[in-house]
Amino acid sequence: MEVQVFGTHKSQDTRKALRFFSERRVKVHFVNLTERAASRGELQRFAQRFGVGALVDRSSPRYASLGLGSARLDDRHWLETLVEEPLLLMMPLVRWQQKLTIGVAPGEWTEWVRAGKT
């Protein structure tokens, strides 16, 4: 079993996710968003499941510094903005096979671990 985690080391929620999987000896492919942005295709998977609005962290310092509070962008423009500015993303984004979560979701992750070990 291997999960993919998108986030930053500065994000407390990302660290929680990494610790959760580490404690359960689950292999993690970590994508550090400060070094490499998530691809448009990767973000589209999450957007199709949760909607583009769920991907945007409106409380992030980057959101405020870019002055996006009054921005009225359609989904396509938001997706382009998230590819260019990955620090606007809710963190962590976690993927295992076709299953996805945004933010800390230990209940779902526990189910994944159980399913992955059988």
- Residues 54-68, buried b or exposed e (16+ Cβ, 10 A)? ebbbeebeebeeeeb
Tokens of 75: 């989904």
Query: Burial of 15 by CB count in 10 Å (0-12 exposed, 13-18 middle, 19+ buried)?
Result: middle
pLDDT value at 107 more than 80:
yes
Among 40-44, 66-70, 106-110, 113-117, which stretch is predicted with the lowest mean pLDDT? 66-70
pLDDT value, residue 68? 76
Whole-structure pTM over 0.85, yes or no? Answer: yes
Q: What is the mean pLDDT of residues 35-44?
A: 91
pLDDT-derived band at 106 (thresholds 50, 70, 90) equals very high
pLDDT digits (tens, 9 = 90+) for 3-35: 999 999 999 999 999 999 999 999 999 999 999
pLDDT value, residue 70? 67
pLDDT value, residue 63? 82
Q: Which residues pair with 26 in a beta bridge?
A: none
Distance between CA atoms of residues 110 and 98, nearest Å:
16
DSSP-assigned states of every residue in 29-56: EEEETTTSPPPHHHHHHHHHHH-HHHHB
pLDDT digits (tens, 9 = 90+) for 45-103: 999 999 998 999 988 888 887 777 666 777 888 889 899 999 999 999 999 999 999 99
Domains present along the chain, CATH in parentheses: 2-116 (3.40.30.10)
